[in-house]
Chain A
Amino acid sequence: MLFRKKFNVEEQLTKFLSEHQGKIIIDGDHSLVGISANKYIIPGIKHELIVDIPQEVWKRLLEYLNITGDPEVLFFEKGKVHSLARDEAKKLLLSKS
C-alpha cells in the first residue's frame, strides 16, 4: 500500500529561506519592485513572499517607505509596514500557517 508523505510546512519554509538568502517582503505589493524581484507562494503558508530583491532596489525601497536602519524583512499589514529580523519573520510565517 502506498502512503503519501505528509507535507511538512516548516521543512519547506526552511528550505525556501535557505535558497533565498537576501531581503524579503511579506505581503507587499509586487508593483513596488516590479520585474526586479520574484513573488512566491509556499503551500501551507498564507502570506505571499517577494524575494531575490537586488541591493540597489532594496535601498531605494527603504528610502521610499521612510524606513530607517537595515531590516532584513519588511512585513506589510493593514497599510502599515513592520521591520523584522529573519528569525522573527520565520516564526510569524509559521504561526499563521
Chain B
Amino acid sequence: MEDIFKRVYKVTEVHDNNVWEELQKRDLVVVKLIAIERFSKKKLNFIPYGHLTSYVGYVNVELIKYKNWNFFAILPPVNNMLRKKFGLGKFAMYIQERDPTERMHVSKEVFITIDEKDVYNFVRARANVVS
C-alpha cells in the first residue's frame, strides 16, 4: 500500500486537528473508496487505491494524510472533468463495481457526491476522539 502512496504527485501530512481547514482548500476531495460486487452489490473486502490513482492519473492526485486516514484531493483540470462527468460537489466517494463472473473484472467506475455536512461531522468526531 505504501508504494502506491509514494507514487502520487504529492503527499501532505496534517499533524494537528486542522484537517478540515486543509480539505477546504481543495476543489475536489475523494474521502471514501469502496469496491462492490456487480450483482449482489455486496461490499468487497478490498480498497481500490491503485485503481483510483491510475484512473485519475498519478500526477493528478494529492494525498492528504491525517493520522490513519487518507483523503485524495484531485488536482485541476481533472477535478473539473470529473465534476462535469459525474455532477460532483466538493466531496466525493469512489465506487468500483466488479463483475464476479469474469474474475472480478472491473465493470464500472463511478464517483458519487457526498454531503459536506457529513464529511465535517465525520472528521470532527474522529479528530476529537483521537486527540
**Do A and B share a complex?**
yes
Interface residues of A (CB under 8 A from B): 30-37, 54, 56-57, 60-61, 64
Asked if A33 and B57 make an inter-chain contact with CB atoms under 8 angstroms apart, the answer reads yes
Asked if A36 and B78 make an inter-chain contact with CB atoms under 8 angstroms apart, the answer reads yes
> Which of B55, B56, B58, B77 gathers the greatest number of chain A CB atoms within 10 Å?
B58
* Main SS at interface, chain B: helix
CA distance A36 to B55 in the complex (A): 9
**Size bin of chain B's contact surface:** 10 to 19
- Which residue of the partner chain A has the closest CB to B109? A35
Asked if B56 and A57 make an inter-chain contact with CB atoms under 8 angstroms apart, the answer reads no
Can you give 10 A-B contacts (C-beta < 8 A)?
A30-B54, A31-B57, A32-B57, A32-B58, A35-B55, A37-B57, A56-B76, A57-B60, A60-B9, A60-B75
Does any Cβ of A come within 8 Å of B53's Cβ?
yes
CA distance A30 to B56 in the complex (A): 10
B64 to chain A, nearest CB (A): 17
Interface residues of B (CB under 8 A from A): 9, 53-60, 75-78, 81-82
Residues of A within 8 A of B55 (CB): 34-35
CA distance A54 to B57 in the complex (A): 12
- Which residue of the partner chain A has the closest CB to B77? A54
Asked if B77 and A64 make an inter-chain contact with CB atoms under 8 angstroms apart, the answer reads no
Asked if B78 and A31 make an inter-chain contact with CB atoms under 8 angstroms apart, the answer reads no
| With A56-B76, A57-B77: A35-B56 Cβ-Cβ less than 8 Å | yes
Q: Which residue of B9, B53, B54, B60 is within 8 Å of A36 (Cβ)?
A: B60
Residues of B within 8 A of A36 (CB): 57, 60, 77-78, 81
